Chain A
Amino acid sequence: DSGVTQTPKHLITATGQRVTLRCSPRSGDLSVYWYQQSLDQGLQFLIQYYNGEERAKGNILERFSAQQFPDLHSELNLSSLELGDSALYFCASSVGAGGSGETQYFGPGTRLLVL
């Protein structure tokens, strides 16, 4: 158990819908990272938040957004869902801002299926 929690574990929804994925980092960690893992794309970095502020952005679609709250939990919002958005979504956390090569601890993931 990494100490990072994610809810829900599974999510089934329809195209065009909107969903929210939730992540709580390890106690004491200030950074939260979001990753998408699909069969053909591997692990893709989406976005990072550090202490409530967006820190780095990867290949995140405009239909996706995220935020980190004062209690440091983070939410990833996916809207206008398409079949291709079906994937495993992981969050990870680290102690600091991440620039010095800190270990990122991954949560158990949320499996999203868009029908």
Chain B
Amino acid sequence: GENVEQHPSTLSVQEGDSAVIKCTYSDSASNYFPWYKQELGKRPQLIIDIRSNVGEKKDQRIAVTLNKTAKHFSLHITETQPEDSAVYFCAALKAAGNKLTFGGGTRVLVKP
């Protein structure tokens, strides 16, 4: 089955700096890669996603890149703010499959 590795497990950045989280996946048939943000005690919320026919996608301060050959994708947050502090999860979905496989999560702390 699919296996998703996420690094780092914790990330501390100064407000205004950039944060980068990296994920690798094992199944080359995976073609959909969402990122979820989960604040303490709350539900995971989709913040951005990318499909395998696209190499990069951007939404304001958030961007995701995908390298299909290397089977890895990354989340980039620029100009970080304290409200960006949360746990971020990457995930992968195999084409025609239904099972989202999540990475282990990255706890991001933005220090004011």
Using a CB–CB cutoff of 8 Å, the interface residues on chain A facing chain B are: 2, 31, 33, 42-45, 48, 50, 55-56, 58, 90, 97-101, 103-109
* A108 neighbours in B (Cβ, 8 Å): 42-43
Report 18 cross-chain contacts, Cβ distance below 8 Å, ordered by A residue: A2-B43, A31-B98, A42-B103, A43-B105, A44-B102, A45-B101, A55-B98, A56-B98, A90-B43, A99-B95, A99-B98, A101-B31, A103-B34, A104-B34, A104-B46, A104-B100, A106-B43, A107-B43
Please state if B93 and A101 are interface contacts (CB–CB under 8 Å).
Answer: yes
Using a CB–CB cutoff of 8 Å, the interface residues on chain B facing chain A are: 31-32, 34, 36, 42-46, 49, 51, 89, 93, 95-105
Contact (A56, B43) CB under 8 Å given A43-B89, A101-B32: no
Q: 3 tightest CB-CB pairs across the interface, nearest first?
A: A101-B32, A56-B98, A43-B102
Please state if B96 and A99 are interface contacts (CB–CB under 8 Å).
Answer: yes
Alpha-carbon gap, A106 to B32, bound state (A): 17
Total A-B contacts with CB atoms under 8 angstroms apart:
57
Shortest beta-carbon distance, B62 to chain A, in Å? 15
Please state if A90 and B44 are interface contacts (CB–CB under 8 Å).
Answer: yes
Shortest beta-carbon distance, B29 to chain A, in Å? 12
Please state if A98 and B98 are interface contacts (CB–CB under 8 Å).
Answer: yes
A106 closest partner in B (C-beta): B43
Alpha-carbon gap, A96 to B105, bound state (A): 27
**What 5 additional pairs, Cβ within 8 angstroms, besides A56-B97, A101-B31, A103-B34?**
A45-B101, A50-B98, A98-B98, A99-B96, A101-B32
* A50 neighbours in B (Cβ, 8 Å): 98
Shortest beta-carbon distance, A1 to chain B, in Å? 10
* B31 neighbours in A (Cβ, 8 Å): 101
